[in-house]
Structure 1
Amino acid sequence: FSQSMLLTLPPAIDPAGTAQVLDAVLRHHAVLRARIDLDAGTFVIPEPDAGADPALDEGPSGTASSPEALAREVDELAAGLDPAAGLMVRARSYPAHAGHPGRLLLVVHHLAVDGVSWRILLDDLAQAWSDIEQGRTPQLPPVTTSFRSWAHTLRRQTATRTAELPLWDDILAAPDRLPAPDAASPGPYELGTVAEARHLVRTLDSTHTRTLLTGAAERHGVRVQDLLLTALARAVREWSGRDGVDFAAHVEGHGREQQIQDGADLSRTVGWFTSLYPVRLTATAAEPPADTLARTRDHLERIPDSGIGYGLLRYGAGAPEGETDTPRGPEPADAPLVAFNYLGRFGTSPAGGGAAWTPAPEAGVLGGAIDDALAMAHA
């Protein structure tokens, strides 16, 4: 289970320089060298600046000349990840050609990275190279709150979140778990595996994207996520063919709710912080979009700290030392089947190249690989 990004390399860099840059970043962010033992249930994070195994693949130069070829190389590098051995990062460089800058394919196990982490990593890769290019030892900005420290904070937080249980129970009581057009019964549903999943991709042009990100959000005084969840509610209503729908959806959040702990600063911390929490969405055929938006916004404003308490309560992260953690909230059978994730905004290089250490335009922003045998969690 990994995430990947194809980056534009600076013109003057060679494989040795690329390896130095990667080594500096891996040494600085300890979670990129973490080891996991699923049998023991441990996630061991080494000390910062400890030695890092080489991340740059020493095989032949990459030949990802098409999206299909790139996907194969992502899968190949992902197969080399080994969290049990602390191998969380693999990379492969692509030489410059025909006037285009070289590329770096970076694959990171999802246990060690999330969307916010990529922004930190891109900044640090650029800083490390700037220092190396000028003959200096890389000096990266400090990590204020470590991943380990944040994990302990969450463990202590659980006992303070029990007052939220009625809120989560109410959300999960939504009657339409999956308001499909042909749903003759409320379930159970056979979701299948990742290999059986089907994908439909739709892309907005720049004009519609600009309208969504600025004009519409500012005009209605809401966040982009409010608008997108409203659109989801109305799309599900239309897809269902019903006069109205009332369902719960899982929302992914960045999980970096540092306001719950005085002095916490996660702006420089790499790791998988993502939170998952349910929201209740309703829409009717008769109402105008503005009414759906107002109701969605009001509901989201009732959820404290962007839903981080849900996961803490559900998985019992705060069980006393020596006791086995047990779920305190709703059982998995009640979990929503609809999922939503708004990753935010990423910049890319212009066609043909552009700024070093930014996503290459031909590959999109964020890719990844996932085991085909994994069970699907959502429809």
Structure 2
Amino acid sequence: MGRGARRRGGQDRRAGQLLRPRRRLAADHAGHLPGQRRGAAPLAPGPLPAPDRGAARDGGRTGGGGRSAAGRPGAPDTRPARVRRDQGASPHLLARPVLVELAEGTAEEGLRTALAALVARHDALRSRFEQADGSWWQRIAPSAAAGDPLRRFDLRATAGSGVGEAAEITAVREAVDSFVAGEAARGLDPAGEPLRASLLDFGPGRRPWLCLTVHPLAADTRSWRILLDDLERAYRQSVAGTQVDLGPEPSSFRHWAGLLAGHAAAGGFDEELAYWTALPDTALPDTALPDTVLPPEGPGEAPPVAGEVSVSLGEGESGALLRAAPAALRAGIGDVLLGALGRVLCRWTGADRVQVELEGHGREEIFDGVDLSRAVGRFAGTFPVVLGGTPGGAPPDWPAIVRAVRGRLRAVPSAGLGYGALRHLAPRPPGEDRPRVAFAFHEPVDPGESVLYRSFHSPPPARRAEPVAPGVRPLEITAYLADGRLRFDWRHVVGVHDRATVERLAEDLLEALRAVAAHIDPAAGRAERE
């Protein structure tokens, strides 16, 4: 175990929470990132030495001098920069807005002050990404370089007048969705500020809306929970006329990335190699999966594009799974979803087992003196897990299936953190085969008792055809709760899988989950059919 690392006690308990993030997490921004794998997150932090605090405040590139692990002169980049090299996608395509309905009478200046406090506190919100020598590099700009983070848009003309409350609500939502679609299409300049905040003003008597966009290379899903909490706290203090104080400064992503690189290079994760290399070889090639012939990419050939199929369960079935599953199956909703997905994929492929790529939050407590509980950055990473079907086509024993999933997740060492570190930072990676299916579940944002927030909403996903970056999984499923229903977005590569195939798989997953819901609460299924 490397110097400065603490023993990873209690990892079983944390591994069981991999698919059950805190209730403040948002589904919207993580599930629809154009040009990026759905639900996936960086696995390859660039190897960084412990940063010089002065250099960080002066806006220098991340890292120190010398040569990087890749043999390039100068400072190595951070983990998000390495991911962009691997995927070859333009960072301009990554931004996805988060939509928040605010309280009536929200003070614009108080909100502006709170946003400025966030930028000053979290250096990731001052990230600048620059391309040099075919690689992306992260730079932290000084606080003084930050501009006004808030823009105000007068949309009173779009809200309607005197046409009834229901019609006005519809008009407001349509205006908001239209604005958000435009923001998603614009993207964010990676060389510019990674945070963009837009206040949508619909006039007196109507609640304003806030459209927040943060470049995904600067913040992962759990970072959004922290940002939303900090924004609320700073706003409360600002409108109360007190100085904004968000508590002790958290550990920085830059510092953590350097420690992780050193720990991996020193063999700190070597004890996990046996686990990862012993995983069954279920990363099937294209020719072993139905409808998975990759299109040619010769001179003049158009690159493959992404397609999407979206389906959802009914409210009754969704409620049964979300509310009753933990007690009835002694498992979280993530375990249940994975159990059903494993059965569907095994029946489709004809295999007894299949590998699926999952996302872990990456914030394991392995370094002394490093507290990531309030840190913002791209910490999350992905790792493989093996799911099994029902042998011999026997009727599914859902409690047994879910127990097996829960056991496999609890067995994952360091909650999956070591897998990415070994693949990209250690001298002996655990092989290059990766799952061809990725899955992520994101719980909804719960505003709770909030002075600022009233509700969080899911903007419609972008529907334009987007080029597929190298390294994207042929099938990527994102699950989240929208308007009381469990929704599943199946993103696929056009030409690798027929849309009809993906639609059939999506419906098969719904049928499997309906069977689970009926097992837990027979009344839920009857109510949906009626």
Alignment of 1:216-295 (within 5 A): 216-240=325-349, 242=350, 244-258=351-365, 260-284=366-390, 285-286=393-394, 287-295=396-404
Matched, 1:142 2:251: no
Distance across 1 between alignment mates of 2:207 and 2:329: 42
CA deviations over 1:38-84 (Å, ceiling 9, x no partner): 4265322346x544222223666596742751442222552xx2222
Among candidates 270, 294, 298, match of residue 407 of structure 2 = 298
Render the CA deviation track for 1:162-188: whole Å, top value 9, x for unaligned: 2322322232612645798735xxx66
Identity %: 28
Map 1:113-152 → 2, pairs under 5 A: 113-152=219-258
SS in 1 for 2:269: helix
Q: Which stretch shows the higher mean deviation, 105-114 or 202-211?
A: 202-211
Change (3 A) 1:55 1:368: farther
| d(CA) in 1 for partners of 2:463, 2:247 | 30
Tell me the CA shift for residue 102 of structure 1. 0.3
Contact 2:104–2:205 at 8 Å: present in 1 too? no
Alignment of 1:149-168 (within 5 A): 149-158=255-264, 159-168=267-276
Q: 2:481: which partner in 1?
A: none
Corresponding residue of 1:358 = 453
Q: Distance in 2 between matches of 1:257 and 1:248?
A: 23
Counterpart pick for 2:212 among 87, 90, 106: 106
> What is the CA–CA distance in structure 1 between the aligned matches of 2:233 and 2:303, rounded to whole Å?
37
Amino acid across the alignment from 2:182: E
The aligned counterpart of 1:329 is 430
The answer for the alignment partner of 1:323 in structure 2 is none
Structure 1 segments of 4+ aligned residues over 6 angstroms from their partners:
178-181, 191-195, 365-371
DSSP-derived class of the 1:237 partner: helix
Aligned length: 354
Q: Distance in 2 between matches of 1:114 and 1:356?
A: 25
Q: Do 1:5 and 1:105's aligned partners in 2 also have CA atoms closer than 8 Å?
A: yes
Q: Which moved more, 1:5-14 or 1:64-73?
A: 64-73
SS at match of 2:217: helix
* 2:510 paired residue number: none
Deviations 1:288-312, CA, capped at 9 Å, x for gaps = 2233223322222221111111100
Taking structure 1 as reference, are residues 194 and 337 closer, same or farther at Cα in structure 2, changes over 3 Å only? farther
**Alpha-carbon spacing, 1:13–1:301, altered in 2? closer, same or farther (3 Å):** closer
Check conservation: 1:172, 1:278, Cα contact below 8 A: no
- Residue 19 of structure 1: how far off its partner (Å): 2.4
Q: Is the 8 A contact 1:347 1:359 kept in 2?
A: no
Contact kept in structure 1, 2:306 and 2:468, CA below 8 Å:
no
* TM-score, length of structure 2 as denominator length: 0.59
The secondary structure found in structure 2 opposite 1:106 is strand
Aligned to 1:83, what secondary structure does the other structure show?
A: coil
Cα distance change on mapping 1:160 and 1:369 into 2, 3 Å: farther
Instruction: Tell me, in whole angstroms, the C-alpha distance in 2 between the residues paired with 1:281 and 1:197.
Output: 25
Residues 256-313 of structure 1: CA distance to partner in whole angstroms, max 9, x if unpaired?
112x223432111111111100111111222522332233222222211111111001
Query: In the superposition, relative to structure 1, how do residues 220 and 199 fare at CA in structure 2: closer, same or farther (>3 Å)?
Result: same
The 1:233/1:77 distance shift into structure 2, 3 A limit, reads same
CA RMSD of aligned residues (A): 3.4
CA distance in 2, matches of 1:96, 1:356: 19
SS of 2:147 mapped into structure 1:
coil
The one of 175, 190, 210 equivalent to 1:83 is 190
Kindly provide the CA deviation profile for residues 115-174 of structure 1, in whole angstroms up to 9, marking residues without a partner as x.
Answer: 211111111111222122122222113333221221122112212112322322232612
In the alignment, structure 2 segments of 5+ residues that lack a partner are 1-93, 159-171, 475-530
* C-alpha contact 1:91 1:107 (8 A) present in aligned 2: yes
Which has the larger displacement, 152-161 or 285-294?
285-294
C-alpha distance in structure 2 between counterparts of 1:19 and 1:37, whole Å: 27
TM-score by length of 1: 0.80
Could you say if the C-alpha distance between residues 262 and 160 of structure 1 is closer, same or farther in structure 2, counting changes exceeding 3 Å? same
